[in-house]
Amino acid sequence: MHRDRVSPNNQESAETHQADENTDRNRLRLLEADGYQEAVRRVIVLARLQDLLAWGRKNSLWPFNFGLSCCYIEMATSLTSRYDIARFGSEVVRGSPRQADVIVIAGTVFRKMAPIIKRLYEQMMEPRWVISMGSCANSGGMYDVYSVVQGVDKFLPVDVYVPGCPPAPHTLMEGLLLLQEAVGSERRPLSWVLGPEHIKRPILPARRDLARESRQQARTFPGMDTVAWYSSKDQGPR
């Protein structure tokens, strides 16, 4: 059932990539028409270098070993053999924010903890990304209560929100893939000396909107009366 939900998204993402390439090509055509051959060559070289860097970043997002509550257990589970986040290049869990690329806000953001989270984020080096994992970090979730900040985006810029309470490990991994997609299509400045830093990133559509159609088409739902799936030993008649 889950696979069904994922596949239309993947197709969708492939299409967006194609669209990006098309616009790039258009831009080049325009430049050629203006006759700036030299400029074009330079753009191509730089763009290719940026592509290479983005590709490198995308496939080696190292998370900071940081967890707040229940979600962290699921985040840790995603590192272990059943889920194995190493398939996506994110198994190198760093103990220091200096070496980490992505901080997963895994759990409830407490008011006593918020200044510390901010500090840790400040201590991360560029480029850095934030995944907000679980309902608490997304919005406060079921904890609309005095000691909880209603979402980590109150004080940190969030790149990907992963829903769930807690999200299952594979949901976090889908979030990671989304972040990879974003990182892969991001254009970051090559150097800070060249001028003001400007990061170009595409706006990715919400997964909910993409999945809506396939979800609306779902007609059969597994009931609670029988075990929904069987293990390897369980193929025989019952």
Q: Which of residues 3-62 bind another protein (CB under 8 A)?
A: none
Which of 31, 47, 76, 177 is close enough to bind another protein by CB under 8 A? 76
Is residue 129 close enough to count as binding another protein by CB under 8 A?
no
Measure the CA–CA gap between 50 and 56, rounded to whole angstroms: 10
Residues in the chain: 238
Among 2, 41, 118, 200, binds another protein (CB under 8 A): 118
Asked if residue 187 binds another protein (CB under 8 A), the reply is: no
Instruction: Tell me: does residue 90 bind another protein (CB under 8 A).
Output: no
Q: What is the sign, positive or negative, of the torsion defined by CA atoms of 187, 191, 194, 198?
A: positive
Quote the tokens at residue 211.
Answer: 């999945």
The answer to whether 87 contacts another protein (rule: CB under 8 A) is no
Q: Which stretch binds another protein (CB under 8 A): 1-9, 32-40, 107-115, 207-215?
A: 107-115
Contacts of residue 78, Cβ cutoff 8 Å, sequence gap at least 6? 85, 169, 170, 172, 173
Number of residues that bind another protein (CB under 8 A): 67
Separation in Å, CA 167 to CA 18, 72, 202: 31, 10, 25
Select from 13, 16, 60, 150 the one that contacts another protein (CB under 8 A). 150
Q: What is the DSSP letter of 133?
A: E
Query: At its nearest, how many Å lie between another protein and the CB of residue 208?
Result: 21
Supply φ then ψ for residue 148, to 5 degrees.
-120, 130
Nearer to another protein, 8 or 188 (CB): 188
List CB contacts of 77: < 8 A, sequence separation 6 or more.
83, 169
- 148 interacts with another protein by CB under 8 A: yes
Closest Cα partner for 123 from 75, 182, 64, 68? 64
Using the minimum distance from each CB to another protein, give the nearer residue, 33 or 224.
Answer: 224
Q: List contacts with another protein (CB under 8 A).
A: 65-70, 72-74, 76-77, 80-82, 95-98, 108, 110-120, 122-123, 126-127, 140, 142-150, 154-155, 165-166, 168, 188-193, 197, 224-231, 233-234, 238
